[in-house]
Structure 1
Amino acid sequence: MMMLKMTSGWSRWLGALTLAGGVLVGGSAANAESSDPIKMTLHDWTGQLITTKIMGEVLKKSGYYVDYVQADYIAQFAGLKTGDLDVAMEIWETTGREAMDEATGTGKVENMGPTGMQAIEEWWFPEYMKEQCPGLPDWKALNDCAEIFSTPETAPRGRYLGAPVTWGGFDDERVEALDLDYDVVHAGTDAALFAELESAYQRKAPILLWVYAPHWAPAKFDGEWIKFPKYAADCYNDPSWGSNPDMAYDCGKPSGPIWKVAWSGVKDKWPGAYKAIKNFHLTNDEMSQMIIDVDLEGRKVDDVVQDWITANEGVWKLWVE
């Protein structure tokens, strides 16, 4: 980068432009209350990358500087508490609520409100499996069909293909609490999880796995989520709740909003960005289509994000006003 001699104030401003991810895209630097980059976390599923980059690119257009930082979904809260990380755009009610509540309870992390998207994450099976296991989707039918869902590695126990272990979700605890004859095998990546579903579905092979929405899978494939005992907060917190008096997690997963969270210092350091993040809103249908564009159509995340920003200028400008 060409260096220029300037007054110390202008030099500091120019120096901020060299920060990783902090390229100014439109807008005015005067809009940014601080030239420090806003550090936004990236995780390992397509929808979260889209959500984060839409918000990040909108902030850049308003004069802010943004760093995208790869971070673990649950462990990120340690960085958010200290201000080493600033914003996490997707905390799912289904898997992240406990970690979020613990972090916000310290006063060091703030819940920035819902994204507008509603989360479902649960055990899922293709509709064709009802022929082999007619008691589905009732969870009580699972043990009767364990051998049907087994693999050479788990037989005679069934296999449940879980999400990457960093996503949480308490599936191992659920199996133990409900005395299910299944082994939880965690997929290494989001892509591997759904590649296995695609392969099994084409062959009409048995498969039981973690599926979530918003996502393309429940739209593309005909299937159902397992109906576990309905979630209640006491199920996770009070072992005496539910069918197993000695263990927690003897129920299904919660469903509900996908939340945004931030280091509590964002409000004072970048008040304009703080307002924009609170105003961010997407629907399940919007997100599902963008995930389809990336995962099924093979488009790049950044291209899909830029297309959304171009087509929805009237929407995101209201976030930053």
Structure 2
Amino acid sequence: MKFLAAASALSLAALPVMADSADPIKLTLHDWSGQLITTTLMGEVLKAGGHNVEYVQADYIAQFAGLETGDLHVAMEIWETTGREAMDAATGTGKVVNLGSTGMDAIEEWWFPSYMKDVCPGLPNWEALNDCASEFATAETAPMGRYLGGPVTWGGFDDERVEALEMDFEVVHAGTDAALFAELESAYQRKAPIVLWIYSPHWAPAKYDGEFVEFPPYSVECYNDPSVGINPDAAYDCGKPTGPIWKVAHAGLQESHPDATKAIVNFNISNADMGAMVAEVDLNGKSVEETVAAWMDANQDTWKAWLN
């Protein structure tokens, strides 16, 4: 924590005086490194501006109940790819507000290492993947192929997609973010068969040579209207959406903490910066706190502008 104290002490005399409530702003933490970094960065910037901040562990989708009641205040990463439906339902109540994009654009999709084209040359087409399903089988799933999904709490509708597209795959969910990428590393080193959930911004698409599977194009209707898409009797028969990573907050935050809300709206970071910080944590063994402090030290003009 000494790194955060150092970052918070950087030229604070130049920062504006805040008029917000002294009550803590409760920011939610989830179970992947990028979200922990984004949230900690926002929290430490708010602390540097004189705000009281509390970090609260929460489930990615279930957190919206707390955001609606005001038991939770801010969620810094709602991915267009997996969180849009829950976000729209929450903002539709008027109790949760969308505070805009983080500046990052999200991709979350099935991904395979390039060496799998040797045994499944029709890739990245999803129909070719399905024809080669047995090449992705494990002892537990044979003769079905195995798709390694993210933790169940991430959502994503992978089970629904497999059923809707009548794919010969079994969805096996990794227990944690770390387990997901540990299995990828092991398979990649052995050139073992694997197809799994990969997301960006993240270091994995840069470190490993591979491609995202190409599914039928996403549409809102594909997710909501079974008659739309390849399977006229099922929704989710298409790829995942892509788009911004959003910031959301309890609607009452704008009244109780107007200056903090403005800073959250102003928060903006690139995929490249976030990918580099995730690599520092996941690959180089740095702590989230140390990584955030280093970024704040190197980018003082950027984060101080969020507070103005």
Please classify the TM superposition score into its range, dividing by the shorter chain length: over 0.9
SS across alignment from 1:305:
helix
Which has the higher relative contact order, 1 or 2, with Cα contacts under 8 A spaced 6 or more apart?
2
Output the TM-score relative to the length of structure 2.
0.95
Secondary structure in 2 matching 1:184: strand
Q: Which amino acid aligns with 1:239?
A: P
Offset, 1:143: 2.1
CA contact 1:74–1:96 (8 Å) conserved in 2: yes
CA distance in 1, matches of 2:264, 2:131: 48
* Partner SS state of residue 89, structure 2: helix
TM-score, normalization: structure 1? 0.91
**2:83 pairs with 1:96:** yes
Q: Computing the radius of gyration over CA atoms, which structure comes out larger, 1 or 2?
A: 1
User: What SS does the corresponding residue of 1:148 show, helix, strand or coil?
Assistant: helix
Give the C-alpha shift of residue 31 in structure 1. 1.8
Contact 1:47 1:291 in 2 (8 A): yes
Q: How does 1:212-227 map to 2 (within 5 A)?
A: 212-227=199-214
Deviation, structure 1 residue 29: 11
Partners in 2 of 1:240 and 1:212 — Cα distance? 29
Greater mean alpha carbon deviation, residues 213-222 or residues 24-33: 24-33
CA distance in 1, matches of 2:198, 2:45: 30
Q: Please say if residues 16 and 307 of structure 2, whose CA atoms lie closer than 8 Å, have aligned partners that are also in contact.
A: no
The separation in 2 between residues aligned to 1:142 and 1:315, in whole angstroms, is 44
Work out whether 1:246 is the aligned partner of 2:246: no
- Alignment of 1:162 with 2:149, yes or no, is yes
Q: Is 1:271 aligned with 2:258?
A: yes
Give the total of aligned pairs. Answer: 299
Identity %: 69
Q: Quick one: which amino acid aligns to residue 248 of structure 2?
A: V
Gaps of 5+ in 1: 1-20
1:59 maps to what in 2?
46
| 3-state SS of 1:147 partner | helix
Moved over 6 A (4+): none
2:294 equivalent to 1:310: no
Q: Secondary structure at the residue paired with 2:136?
A: coil
In structure 1, C-alpha distance between the alignment counterparts of 2:131 and 2:171, rounded to whole Å:
17
1:191-210 alignment to 2 at 5 Å? 191-210=178-197
Return the match for 2:215 from 223, 228, 241.
228
Amino acid at match of 2:145: G
1:15 equivalent in structure 2:
none
Aligned to 1:125: 112
C-alpha distance in structure 2 between counterparts of 1:232 and 1:144, whole Å: 25
| Structure 2 residue runs without a partner (length 5+) | none
Partner SS, residue 110 of structure 1: strand
C-alpha deviation, 1:290, in angstroms:
0.3
Give the superposition deviation at 1:144: 1.5
Residue type of the alignment partner of 2:255: D
Distance in 1 (CA, whole Å) between partners of 2:41 and 2:25 is 14
